[in-house]
């Protein structure tokens, strides 16, 4: 029991450190402030903003309750260990050990959240996967990556929906856009943005030669209306077309799919997963806001680098991760050095170790 008591005290100290990192008084003040906003008579006039406010309140409350629950459980365990010192009880000792294992897991999960330090980490996300040059091999690789992420989302309990997809002529996909809903979805997925490289024996080559394929993954946070991004309806070109994806009996019969082109920036987005034009337009606007916000941030960063004399043109750059299936099996992240020989498990969606190693390394910077 002495060892468990020592670990409990260590967890309590670390929990105190986490309270400082999370700034709990600020979170509580945010809840009070947002709560006052909900009492305003015109609160529901802007439904999108109202829903975003309620979502923030719920998120902050979960953060605080998670901390308070851990604090209470650790305190109770400490009392039980003290009790068993005075009155030995084998059944109680077993119960303490069992509860400690459970609390230990809860603590590790809670502590892991402190790695999410970026502004939009708690948000849902929009992921886009694009096949690189290389024809069928690259398009097949893009589809394999899409399947890998869909399985990861399922494991994490995220809700995922393909909102736009362009099929390859012979196999695979040219691109796919996925709407990923869930707490910290962007926080987890921002580690995946970049070029992914596959090395394997090509299934499309009659001579069974080794082939290298590339795919680009983009990850954007889902954001509401913000001051930095104002979209004037006059700046939008709206095209409609028949959906080629899921959507019920009216698919390919009505032009429910929407493509929005933001004329000033040249950015174009599409949605074809919903059954009506209005729903697809709403989804497309969500993606466009995220892309324009990303462009706003990139332009600011590029201007800073240009002033410092460090500006470089935007390129795909080097791959962030390699997936080698021949002549040996290995998946390696080139940013962190983390690797595994179990490539099949990774392609089946088990990528959490890569994400965690990236977050821990980037958190130290």
Give the tens place of pLDDT for each residue, 258-284.
999 999 999 999 999 888 888 898 888
Model confidence, pTM? 0.74
Residue 357: pLDDT over 90 = yes
Residue 164: pLDDT over 80 = yes
Cβ–Cβ under 8 Å, residues 99 and 73: yes
Rounded CA-CA distance 125/193 in Å is 12
Q: What is the pLDDT of residues 297-350, one digit of tens each?
A: 788 777 655 554 544 443 455 689 999 999 999 999 999 999 999 999 999 999
Residue 138: pLDDT over 70 = yes
Residue 247: pLDDT over 70 = no
Q: What is the mean pLDDT of residues 61-77?
A: 91
> Is the domain defined by 2-115 classed in CATH 1.20.58.410?
yes
Ranking 146-160, 185-199, 207-221, 239-253 by mean pLDDT, the lowest is 239-253
Backbone angles phi, psi at 321, to 5 degrees: -150, 140
Tokens 């104002």: give the residue: 230
Residue 298: both structure tokens together: 């990139």
pLDDT at 301: 72
pLDDT at 87: 84
The burial of 113, by beta-carbon neighbours within 10 Å (0-12 exposed, 13-18 middle, 19 or more buried), is given as middle
pLDDT at 169: 85
pLDDT at 263: 92
Of the candidates 138, 228, 218, which has an alpha carbon nearest to the alpha carbon of residue 180? 218
Rounded CA-CA distance 292/275 in Å is 26
Cβ count within 10 A of residue 265: 14
Distance between start and end Cα atoms, the chain:
38
Q: What is the mean pLDDT of residues 184-205?
A: 92
Cβ–Cβ under 8 Å, residues 321 and 198: no
- Mapped onto helix, strand or coil, the DSSP state of residue 241 is strand
What is the DSSP-derived secondary structure letter of residue 299? H
pLDDT at 314: 38
Backbone angles phi, psi at 360, to 5 degrees: -65, -40
Mean pLDDT comparison of 58-72, 125-139, 143-157, highest-scoring range? 143-157
What is the DSSP-derived secondary structure letter of residue 263? T
Q: Which fold has domain 120-365?
A: Alpha-Beta Plaits (3.30.70)
Residue 233: both structure tokens together: 């309806």
Q: What is the mean pLDDT of residues 8-34?
A: 89
Of the candidates 279, 280, 264, 272, which has an alpha carbon nearest to the alpha carbon of residue 229? 264
What contacts 304, CB < 8 A, 6 or more positions away? none
Rounded CA-CA distance 274/288 in Å is 17
Cβ–Cβ under 8 Å, residues 264 and 235: yes
Instruction: Give the residue extent of every domain in the chain.
Output: 2-115, 120-365
- Mapped onto helix, strand or coil, the DSSP state of residue 214 is strand
- Mapped onto helix, strand or coil, the DSSP state of residue 81 is helix
């Amino acid at each position: 029991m002495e060892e468990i008591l020592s670990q409990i005290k260590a967890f309590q100290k670390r929990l105190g450190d986490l309270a400082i990192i999370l700034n709990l008084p600020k979170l509580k003040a945010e809840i009070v402030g947002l709560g006052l906003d909900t009492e305003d008579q015109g609160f529901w006039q802007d439904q999108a903003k109202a829903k975003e406010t309620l979502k923030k309140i719920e998120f902050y409350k979960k953060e605080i309750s998670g901390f308070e629950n851990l604090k209470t459980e650790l305190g109770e365990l400490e009392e039980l260990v003290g009790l068993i010192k005075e009155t030995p009880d084998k059944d109680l000792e077993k119960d303490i050990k069992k509860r400690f294992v459970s609390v230990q897991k809860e603590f590790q999960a809670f502590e892991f959240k402190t790695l999410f330090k970026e502004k939009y980490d708690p948000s849902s996300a929009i992921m886009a996967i694009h096949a690189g040059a290389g024809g069928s091999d690259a398009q097949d690789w893009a589809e394999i990556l899409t399947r890998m992420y869909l399985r990861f989302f399922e494991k994490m309990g995220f809700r995922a929906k393909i909102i736009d997809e362009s099929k390859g002529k012979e196999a695979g996909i040219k691109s796919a856009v996925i709407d990923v809903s869930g707490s910290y979805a962007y926080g987890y997925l921002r580690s995946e943005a970049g070029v992914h490289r596959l090395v394997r024996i090509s299934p499309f080559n009659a001579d069974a030669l080794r082939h290298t394929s590339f795919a680009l993954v983009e990850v954007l946070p889902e954001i509401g209306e913000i001051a930095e991004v104002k979209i004037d309806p006059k700046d939008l070109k709206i095209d409609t077309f028949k959906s080629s994806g899921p959507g019920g009996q009216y698919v390919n019969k009505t032009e429910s799919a929407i493509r929005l082109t933001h004329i000033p920036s040249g950015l174009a987005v599409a949605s074809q997963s919903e059954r009506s034009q209005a729903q697809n337009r709403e989804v497309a606007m969500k993606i466009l806001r995220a892309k324009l916000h990303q462009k706003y941030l990139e332009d600011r960063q590029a201007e800073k680098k240009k002033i410092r004399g460090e500006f470089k043109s935007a390129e795909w750059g080097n791959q962030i991760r390699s997936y080698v299936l021949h002549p040996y099996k290995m998946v390696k992240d080139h940013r962190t050095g983390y690797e595994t020989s179990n490539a099949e498990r990774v392609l089946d969606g088990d990528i959490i170790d890569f994400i965690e190693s990236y977050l821990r390394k980037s958190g130290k910077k």
